C-alpha cells in the first residue's frame, strides 16, 4: 500500500477519494390504510397485533455517476381477519457516486444508498403509524449487507436454474 502511494506520488498522479453524495431524497410512494382499527384492536384484546415488515431495495443508473435508489418498506399489522393497518412506503434518493471501481459500484448503490435512506424512512413510518391512531412503529435496524448477499444469491440461483433448463 505504501509502495503504491510512493509510486503514485513519483509519477505525479493522485487518486481521487471515493465520493458518495445524496443529491436529493423524496417519498416516491406512500400508502396508509386502516380499514377499521377500533374493531381490529378490540379483537386483539389489548395484545399487540401481529406485524409483518418486508423490505426491498431497488436501483437504476441515471448516468455514469448518478443513480436512483429505492428503499421499499411494507408493514402490515393484524391477523388476516382483523387488519389494523397496511403501510407501503417507497423512499428514494438520487445519489452521485464518483471515483469508485465498477466492482465497488453495485454494493455502494444497493447497500450504502439504502443505509443512508433508512433513518428517514424509519421516521416516516413512525410518524404515519402514530398519526394513524396506533402506537408508532419503530423499525429495527436493517442488515443491508445481509439483504444484498441474499439477493445476489437468489439472482445467481435463478440464473443457474435458467441455464440448466436450456442445456
Examine residue 47 and state whether it is found in any structural domain, yes or no: yes
Q: Which helix (H) or strand (E) holds 159?
A: helix 144-166
Provide the whole-model pTM.
0.82
Q: What letter would DSSP give residue 62?
A: S
Examine residue 127 and state whether it is found in any structural domain, yes or no: yes
Examine residue 7 and state whether it is found in any structural domain, yes or no: no
The mean predicted confidence, pLDDT, of the chain is: 88
**Dihedral sign, Cα of residue 140, residue 144, residue 149, residue 153:** positive
Q: What is the pLDDT of residues 2-24, one digit of tens each?
A: 454 444 444 445 678 999 999 99
CATH number assigned to the domain comprising residue 39 = 3.10.420.10
Q: What is the pLDDT of residues 123-163, one digit of tens each?
A: 999 999 999 888 899 999 999 999 999 999 998 888 888 77
Max Cα separation, the chain?
Answer: 74
Examine residue 163 and state whether it is found in any structural domain, yes or no: no
Give the residue among 126, 119, 160, 167 at the shortest CA–CA distance from 141. Answer: 119
Rounded percentage of the chain residues whose pLDDT exceeds 70: 89
Amino acid at each position: 500500500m505504501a509502495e503504491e502511494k510512493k509510486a503514485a506520488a513519483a509519477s505525479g498522479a493522485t487518486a481521487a477519494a471515493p465520493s458518495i453524495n445524496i443529491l436529493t431524497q423524496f417519498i416516491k410512494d406512500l400508502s396508509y390504510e386502516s380499514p377499521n382499527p377500533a374493531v381490529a384492536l378490540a379483537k386483539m384484546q389489548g395484545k399487540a397485533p401481529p406485524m409483518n415488515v418486508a423490505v426491498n431495495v431497488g436501483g437504476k443508473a441515471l448516468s455514469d455517476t448518478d443513480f436512483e435508489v429505492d428503499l421499499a418498506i411494507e408493514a402490515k399489522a393484524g391477523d388476516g381477519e382483523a387488519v389494523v393497518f397496511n403501510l407501503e412506503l417507497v423512499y428514494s434518493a438520487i445519489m452521485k457516486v464518483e471515483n469508485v471501481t465498477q466492482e465497488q459500484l453495485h454494493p455502494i448503490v444497493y447497500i450504502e444508498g439504502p443505509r443512508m435512506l433508512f433513518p428517514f424512512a424509519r421516521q416516516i413510518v413512525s410518524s404515519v403509524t402514530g398519526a394513524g391512531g396506533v402506537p408508532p412503529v419503530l423499525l429495527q435496524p436493517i442488515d443491508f449487507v445481509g439483504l444484498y448477499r441474499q439477493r445476489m444469491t437468489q439472482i445467481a440461483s435463478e440464473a443457474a436454474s435458467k441455464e440448466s433448463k436450456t442445456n
